[in-house]
């Protein structure tokens, strides 16, 4: 166990671009034992690069490399080895700092003894891409301060320290605002806020890209596990219930039971009295039911589930009242699946018909656990009615995925006729998870692996260290990387694309709903599927596709489950399974 956990720690460091980048949550097995899951903590990180500085300002910017040294956050009287910025009336020096990976938090600035003892004004611009950190808040490319301040002017003290900011970023541009002033900087460090929790789940295979994708999804969700479970750390720092399902699935596969999940589920419940719908969208209340079922299956917390009984019963009855005489859903409120499908009412209807079946199926399971036979029976009757009406998916991969998962449409047909058509064309970062689930149900595991590599792998190849709110393969031609200033002749992929509420720089580059490949790879490639509440029964059924081997871990209430699958010369799979006591393994 100890040896295997150590290998899991090593996996944690092999994130993004093959480099051993430092992820602060776990430094060693001993560190992991001390980690706590109940609150956020902070680490201070120095920049890894000076990505840009004001052109023709060599005499106005001195010793900027000093900022990349490890700091201690303390001003001192030695005043040695300082980074010095000097402005004139016409030249205001600036630096663009690269902290190496997406972070949630702010900035710590430590100053020296510059000649003017008065506070000095700095303009700070945080960015998830290099180009966003270089942008202004203006309508052309839609850079904003929505949800979190990312562009601000602050004053730093003489021989002191300032801590400021609370947003998602990797890059920070620092501009000296005042005319004819000198500023001495000892340190400019990122303040990294995160939940200090170990990565109990892991995934390692013969494909390094898939390994990076699994870990990038885990890290994306980890950053969003703040006071509540957010959807994005720059924008959408809110509890969105539909968006949470890929996140809670990731948390179960990577971190195990964590209080941020029930805390967020309860917030949504408590601010949404029935018959209102969570976040104003009927589908999001339905996802609340599905998450409750999945969370109970993983953790087996009957005490918590019983606290949901009254609301669950009321919500299920509201939903069941929205079925007409033709056995068709007539759900009111905001009718929404995801943004790319939002202009296709036929797809939305088909998706909601399927999602209602999925919801009532989850509601039936939970009602039986809660000994509410009446509601369970009503759910069963409503499901049977809904299955008599099968809407068409059209060309919507979102609708086809839900129709397949719900059983309204044969999964192989949905995959062949809709989901697999054009490869990953028209995939979405949110519903891509359900497209992968439908493909798995159709037995198209190799097609799923290819889709993960091509769609989510493309973001990594563009410099992403977390997965994005939106992505489209049509963006790729001539696109520049997000971790570089866009070269002449290349397209700025961050400022040039996006749609609906996330046009241009408003687009979040760290969005939890995009993490679907992480739980998918754990469930279908490692082959770990929970079959009984509290992980008491787990089915192991790996699907390696073109992989030579895969190994990993999975957190259960009883301890860590370890598996390793190796493809033999004859094509058969040799499996090694080490399950904690209390977990029954079925094959």
Ordered domains of the chain (ranges, CATH): 43-195 (2.60.120.260), 202-393+466-484+502-530 (1.50.10.10)
Q: Is pLDDT of 32 > 60?
A: no
Q: Is pLDDT of 16 > 60?
A: no
- Structure-token pair, residue 304: 């918590």
Q: Return d(Cα 183, Cα 138) in angstroms, integer.
A: 28
SS3 554: strand
Residue 31 pLDDT: 56
Residue 21 pLDDT: 39
Q: Return d(Cα 123, Cα 587) in angstroms, integer.
A: 59
Residue 436 pLDDT: 98
Q: Please say whether the dihedral angle defined by the alpha carbons of residues 453, 395, 404 and 354, taken in this order, is positive or negative.
A: positive
**40 sits in which H/E element:** strand 40-45
Q: Is pLDDT of 139 > 50?
A: yes
Q: Return d(Cα 305, Cα 369) in angstroms, integer.
A: 9
Could you report the per-residue pLDDT of 252-287, keeping only the tens digit for each? 999 999 999 999 999 999 999 999 999 999 999 999
Residue 523 pLDDT: 98
pTM for this model (two decimals)? 0.94
Could you report the per-residue pLDDT of 155-177, keeping only the tens digit for each? 999 999 999 999 999 999 999 99
Q: Return d(Cα 558, Cα 1) in angstroms, integer.
A: 13
SS3 567: strand
Mean pLDDT score, 484-509? 94
DSSP state of 316: H
Q: Write the CB contacts of 153 (distance below 8 Å, at least 6 apart in sequence).
A: 121, 122, 123, 124, 177
Rounded to 5 degrees, what are φ and ψ at 29? -60, -40
Decide: 556 and 538 in contact? Cβ < 8 Å.
Answer: yes
Residue 33 pLDDT: 57
Mean pLDDT score, 142-152? 90
Residue 19 pLDDT: 33
Q: Is pLDDT of 34 > 80?
A: no
Cis preceding-peptide flag for 275 (omega within 30 of 0):
yes
Q: Return d(Cα 175, Cα 169) in angstroms, integer.
A: 17
Residue 13 pLDDT: 40
Could you report the per-residue pLDDT of 327-344, keeping only the tens digit for each? 999 999 999 999 999 999
Residue 416 pLDDT: 98
- When pLDDT is cut at 50, 70 and 90, the band that residue 18 belongs to is very low
Mean pLDDT of the chain: 93
Residue 12 pLDDT: 42
List C-alpha distances in Å: 19 to 11, 101, 456, 482, 553. 11, 12, 18, 17, 22
Half-sphere exposure of 25 (CA within 13 A, CB side): 26
Q: Is pLDDT of 84 > 60?
A: yes
Q: Supply the angle between the helices 373-386 and 309-320 in degrees, to the nearest 10.
A: 30
Could you report the per-residue pLDDT of 364-402, keeping only the tens digit for each? 999 999 999 999 999 999 999 999 999 999 999 999 999
Q: Write the CB contacts of 528 (distance below 8 Å, at least 6 apart in sequence).
A: 253, 522, 538, 539, 540, 554, 561, 563
Residue 142 pLDDT: 86
């Amino acid at each position: 166990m100890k040896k295997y956990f150590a290998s899991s720690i090593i996996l944690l460091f092999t994130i993004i671009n093959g480099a051993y980048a430092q992820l602060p949550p776990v430094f060693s097995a001993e560190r992991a034992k001390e980690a706590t899951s109940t609150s956020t903590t902070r680490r201070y990180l120095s920049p890894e690069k000076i990505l840009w500085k004001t052109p023709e300002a060599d005499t106005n910017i001195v010793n900027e490399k000093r900022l990349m040294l490890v700091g201690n956050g303390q001003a001192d009287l030695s005043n040695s080895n300082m980074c010095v910025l000097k402005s004139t009336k016409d030249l205001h020096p600036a630096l663009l700092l690269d902290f190496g990976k997406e972070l949630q938090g702010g900035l710590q600035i430590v100053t020296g003894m510059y000649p003017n003892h008065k506070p000095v004004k700095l303009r700070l611009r945080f960015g998830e891409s290099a180009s966003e950190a270089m942008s202004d808040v203006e309508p052309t490319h839609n850079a904003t301060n929505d949800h979190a301040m990312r562009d601000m002017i602050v004053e730093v003290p003489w021989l002191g320290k300032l801590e400021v900011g609370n947003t998602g970023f990797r890059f920070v541009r620092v501009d000296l605002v005042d005319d004819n002033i000198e500023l001495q900087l000892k340190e400019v460090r990122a303040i990294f806020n995160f939940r200090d929790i170990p990565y109990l789940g892991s995934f390692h295979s013969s494909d390094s890209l898939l390994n990076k994708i699994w870990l990038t999804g885990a890290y994306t969700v980890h950053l969003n596990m703040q006071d509540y479970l957010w959807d994005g750390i720059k924008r959408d720092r809110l509890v969105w219930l539909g968006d949470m399902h890929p996140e809670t699935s990731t948390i179960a596969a990577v971190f195990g039971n964590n209080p941020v999940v029930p805390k967020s589920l309860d917030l949504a419940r408590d601010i949404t009295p029935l018959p209102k719908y969570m976040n104003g969208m009927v589908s999001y209340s339905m996802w609340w039911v599905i998450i409750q079922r999945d969370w109970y299956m993983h953790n087996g917390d009957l005490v918590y589930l019983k606290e949901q009984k009254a609301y669950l019963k009321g919500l299920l009855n509201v939903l069941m009242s929205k079925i007409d005489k033709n056995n068709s859903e007539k759900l009111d409120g905001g009718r929404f699946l995801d943004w790319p499908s939002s202009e296709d009412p036929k797809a939305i209807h088909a998706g909601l018909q399927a999602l209602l079946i999925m919801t009532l199926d989850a509601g039936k399971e939970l009602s039986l656990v809660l000994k509410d036979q009446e509601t369970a029976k009503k759910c069963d009757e409503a499901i049977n009615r809904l299955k008599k009406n099968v809407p068409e998916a059209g060309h919507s991969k979102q609708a086809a995925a839900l129709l397949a998962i719900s059983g309204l449409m044969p999964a192989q047909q949905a995959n062949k006729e809709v989901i697999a058509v054009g490869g990953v064309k028209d995939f979405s970062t949110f519903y891509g998870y359900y497209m992968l689930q439908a493909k798995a149900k159709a037995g198209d595991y190799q097609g799923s692996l290819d889709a993960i590599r091509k769609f989510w792998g493309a973001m990594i190849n563009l410099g992403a260290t977390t997965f994005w709110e939106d992505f489209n393969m049509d963006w790729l031609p001539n696109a520049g990387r997000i971790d570089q200033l866009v070269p002449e002749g290349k397209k700025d992929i961050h400022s040039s694309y996006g749609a609906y509420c996330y046009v241009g720089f408003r687009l979040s580059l760290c969005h939890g709903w995009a993490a679907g490949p992480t739980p998918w790879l754990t469930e279908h490639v490692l082959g770990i599927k929970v079959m009984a509440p509290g992980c008491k029964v787990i089915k192991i059924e790996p699907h390696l596709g073109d992989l030579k081997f895969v190994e990993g871990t999975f957190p259960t209430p009883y301890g860590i489950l370890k598996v390793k699958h190796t493809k033999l010369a004859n094509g058969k799979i040799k499996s090694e399974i080490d399950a904690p006591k209390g977990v029954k393994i079925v094959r």
